[in-house]
Structure 1
Amino acid sequence: MRADGRFMRRRLLTDSLLIALLLPLLLLWLDGRTGLPEANRMVYDRLLQTLPATASGDVVIIGIDKRSIDAIGPLPWPRSVHAELLERLAPAAPRSVLFNVFFDAGSARPEDDQRLARAIGALPVYLPLDYTHPSAAAPGVRTGFTDPLAMLAQHAEGIGHANVAPDADDRVRTIFRYEGTAERLVPYVGLLMATGAQDASPANPVFAPRGDWSKLSRFGFRFAGPAGTYRTESFIDVLRGAVSADSLRGKYLMVGALADSRVNDQLAVVGVGARSSMPGVEIHANAFDALRQGRTLEFPTPVAGTLWKVVPIWIALALFLLSARHALASAMLLVTGCALLALIAVSQAHYMPPIATSMAGIALSYLLWSGRRFSAMLLFLRQRIDALNAVPSGAFEPPTTPRAVALDAVEERAHSLDRAIQRLVGLQAMLNESLQMMPVAVAVCRADGVIAQSNAVARQLLTGQPAIAGPAGAGDPLEGRNLLDILSRMQRKTISDGLQADAADRWAQAMDGEYTTAGHDVLRVHAVQLAGLGDAPGTHRVVVLRDLTTERRVQGERERWFAFLSHDLRSPQVSILSLLALHADQESGRIDTAQLVQGVERQAHRTLALTENVMSMIETAASRQDLSAIPMGDAAMDAIDASWHYAQSRGVLLAPMLGDDDCIVRADRPLLTRAILNLLTNAIRHSAPGRTVHVCMSQSQSALHGGAVGEAVLSVRDEGEGMSAEKLARILKTDARERAPGQPAHAHDVQGWGIGMSVVHAVIERHRGWLDAHSAPGVGSTFLLGLPLQALSMEEADYSRNTPQSAGNQRMLPTL
Structure 2
Amino acid sequence: MPTTAFTWLVRGMLWMAGVGLLVLLIVSGLTVPLDNALYDLHARYWHYTPDDRVVIVAIDPKSLDEIGRFPWPRSIHAQLIDRLTADGARGIGMDVTMSTPSNDPNTDQQVATAVHRNGKVVLPVFAEAVTLGGPLQEALPVQTIAQSVAALGQVDVAKDNDERVRGAYLKAGLGSAYWPSLALALLQLGHAPNMALPGLHDPAHNDASPYLWMRDNYVLLRYAGPTGTFGTLSYVDVLNNRVPTDLLKDRWVFVGATAEGLGDILQTPDSPMPGVEYQANVLESLERGLLVTPLDFLRQFALSAVLLALPLLLYGLPGIGRNWALLLTSVVLVLVACFTLLRGAYLWWPPVSCLVVIAAEFVAWQLLMRDRRAVHA
TM-score range, shorter chain: 0.7 to 0.9
Please tell me the residue identity of whatever aligns with 1:234. S
Structure 1 partner of 2:159: 166
Selected match of 1:208 from 192, 204, 208: 204
Please tell me the residue identity of whatever aligns with 2:355. M
Structure 2 partner of 1:118: 113
Structure 1 residues 53 and 93: alpha-carbon distance in aligned structure 2, compared to 1, 3 A threshold: same
Structure 2 partner of 1:408: 376
Structure 1 residues 230 and 28: alpha-carbon distance in aligned structure 2, compared to 1, 3 A threshold: closer
Structure 2 partner of 1:253: 253
Selected match of 1:22 from 5, 20, 23: 20
Which whole-Å CA distance do the structure 1 matches of 2:146 and 2:316 have between them? Answer: 64
Structure 2 partner of 1:149: 142
* Aligned residues of 2:137 and 2:174 also touching (Cα < 8 A): no
Which whole-Å CA distance do the structure 1 matches of 2:35 and 2:185 have between them? Answer: 30
Which whole-Å CA distance do the structure 1 matches of 2:329 and 2:113 have between them? Answer: 65
Which whole-Å CA distance do the structure 2 matches of 1:6 and 1:93 have between them? Answer: 75
Which whole-Å CA distance do the structure 2 matches of 1:94 and 1:4 have between them? Answer: 77
Q: Which has the higher mean CA deviation after the structures are superposed, 313-322 or 240-249?
A: 313-322
Displacement of 1:142 in angstroms is 3.8
Structure 1 residues 54 and 18: alpha-carbon distance in aligned structure 2, compared to 1, 3 A threshold: closer
Structure 1 residues 9 and 81: alpha-carbon distance in aligned structure 2, compared to 1, 3 A threshold: closer
Question: What does 1:52-71 correspond to in 2, within 5 Å?
Answer: 52-71=47-66
CA deviations over 1:693-721 (Å, ceiling 9, x no partner):
xxxxxxxxxxxxxxxxxxxxxxxxxxxxx
Structure 1 partner of 2:357: 361
Displacement of 1:121 in angstroms is 1.6
Selected match of 1:294 from 289, 297, 302: 289
* Aligned residues of 2:171 and 2:177 also touching (Cα < 8 A): no
* Aligned residues of 1:309 and 1:361 also touching (Cα < 8 A): no
Structure 1 residues 255 and 130: alpha-carbon distance in aligned structure 2, compared to 1, 3 A threshold: same
Please tell me the residue identity of whatever aligns with 2:339. L
Which whole-Å CA distance do the structure 2 matches of 1:311 and 1:145 have between them? Answer: 45
Structure 1 residues 178 and 317: alpha-carbon distance in aligned structure 2, compared to 1, 3 A threshold: farther
Which whole-Å CA distance do the structure 1 matches of 2:368 and 2:89 have between them? Answer: 68
Question: What does 1:317-396 correspond to in 2, within 5 Å?
Answer: 317=312, 319=314, 326=322, 329-375=325-371
Question: What does 1:332-731 correspond to in 2, within 5 Å?
Answer: 332-375=328-371, 408=376
Structure 1 residues 5 and 138: alpha-carbon distance in aligned structure 2, compared to 1, 3 A threshold: same
* Aligned residues of 1:15 and 1:372 also touching (Cα < 8 A): no
Structure 2 partner of 1:98: 93
Displacement of 1:76 in angstroms is 2.0
Structure 1 length as normaliser, TM-score?
0.41
Structure 1 residues 338 and 199: alpha-carbon distance in aligned structure 2, compared to 1, 3 A threshold: farther
Gaps of 5+ in 1: 379-406, 410-816
Displacement of 1:359 in angstroms is 2.0
Gaps of 5+ in 2: none
Displacement of 1:10 in angstroms is 9.8
Please tell me the residue identity of whatever aligns with 1:295. L
* Aligned residues of 1:129 and 1:160 also touching (Cα < 8 A): yes
Structure 2 partner of 1:263: 262
Structure 2 partner of 1:220: 220
CA deviations over 1:29-64 (Å, ceiling 9, x no partner):
45x12xx22321222123334535113222221111
Which whole-Å CA distance do the structure 1 matches of 2:347 and 2:8 have between them? Answer: 41
Which whole-Å CA distance do the structure 1 matches of 2:8 and 2:306 have between them? Answer: 23
> Which secondary structure does the structure 2 equivalent of 1:51 belong to?
coil
CA deviations over 1:239-272 (Å, ceiling 9, x no partner):
2222343432111111111134x3152222223x
Displacement of 1:5 in angstroms is 8.5
> Which secondary structure does the structure 1 equivalent of 2:253 belong to?
strand
CA deviations over 1:639-687 (Å, ceiling 9, x no partner):
xxxxxxxxxxxxxxxxxxxxxxxxxxxxxxxxxxxxxxxxxxxxxxxxx
Which whole-Å CA distance do the structure 2 matches of 1:201 and 1:99 have between them? Answer: 22
Which whole-Å CA distance do the structure 2 matches of 1:16 and 1:78 have between them? Answer: 68
Selected match of 1:198 from 192, 197, 210: 192
Structure 1 residues 142 and 108: alpha-carbon distance in aligned structure 2, compared to 1, 3 A threshold: farther
Structure 1 residues 7 and 175: alpha-carbon distance in aligned structure 2, compared to 1, 3 A threshold: closer
Which whole-Å CA distance do the structure 2 matches of 1:363 and 1:86 have between them? Answer: 59
Displacement of 1:329 in angstroms is 4.4
Structure 2 partner of 1:473: none
CA deviations over 1:540-577 (Å, ceiling 9, x no partner):
xxxxxxxxxxxxxxxxxxxxxxxxxxxxxxxxxxxxxx
Displacement of 1:96 in angstroms is 0.4
How many residues are treated as equivalent by the alignment?
A: 368
Selected match of 2:36 from 34, 41, 49: 41
Please tell me the residue identity of whatever aligns with 1:279. P
Which whole-Å CA distance do the structure 1 matches of 2:195 and 2:204 have between them? Answer: 16
* Aligned residues of 2:63 and 2:235 also touching (Cα < 8 A): yes
Please tell me the residue identity of whatever aligns with 1:217. N
Please tell me the residue identity of whatever aligns with 2:148. H
Please tell me the residue identity of whatever aligns with 2:331. V
Structure 1 partner of 2:81: 86
> Which secondary structure does the structure 2 equivalent of 1:267 belong to?
strand
Which whole-Å CA distance do the structure 2 matches of 1:242 and 1:322 have between them? Answer: 70
* Aligned residues of 1:104 and 1:130 also touching (Cα < 8 A): no
> Which secondary structure does the structure 2 equivalent of 1:122 belong to?
helix
Please tell me the residue identity of whatever aligns with 2:109. Q
Structure 1 residues 372 and 217: alpha-carbon distance in aligned structure 2, compared to 1, 3 A threshold: farther
CA deviations over 1:226-246 (Å, ceiling 9, x no partner):
333322222222222223434
* Aligned residues of 1:181 and 1:207 also touching (Cα < 8 A): no
CA deviations over 1:116-151 (Å, ceiling 9, x no partner):
11211222011111233x7xx752544153222233
> Which secondary structure does the structure 2 equivalent of 1:218 belong to?
strand
Displacement of 1:13 in angstroms is 6.4
Structure 1 residues 37 and 184: alpha-carbon distance in aligned structure 2, compared to 1, 3 A threshold: closer
* Aligned residues of 2:176 and 2:215 also touching (Cα < 8 A): no
Which whole-Å CA distance do the structure 2 matches of 1:17 and 1:345 have between them? Answer: 24
Which whole-Å CA distance do the structure 2 matches of 1:182 and 1:264 have between them? Answer: 26
* Aligned residues of 1:40 and 1:354 also touching (Cα < 8 A): yes
Which whole-Å CA distance do the structure 2 matches of 1:77 and 1:200 have between them? Answer: 36
Structure 1 residues 73 and 12: alpha-carbon distance in aligned structure 2, compared to 1, 3 A threshold: same
* Aligned residues of 1:121 and 1:155 also touching (Cα < 8 A): yes
Structure 1 residues 52 and 5: alpha-carbon distance in aligned structure 2, compared to 1, 3 A threshold: closer
Which whole-Å CA distance do the structure 2 matches of 1:105 and 1:286 have between them? Answer: 28
* Aligned residues of 1:45 and 1:270 also touching (Cα < 8 A): yes
Question: Among the aligned pairs, what percent are the same residue?
Answer: 26
Which whole-Å CA distance do the structure 2 matches of 1:67 and 1:354 have between them? Answer: 43
> Which secondary structure does the structure 1 equivalent of 2:183 belong to?
helix
Displacement of 1:330 in angstroms is 4.0
Displacement of 1:92 in angstroms is 1.3
CA deviations over 1:605-641 (Å, ceiling 9, x no partner):
xxxxxxxxxxxxxxxxxxxxxxxxxxxxxxxxxxxxx
Larger Rg: 1
Please tell me the residue identity of whatever aligns with 2:160. D
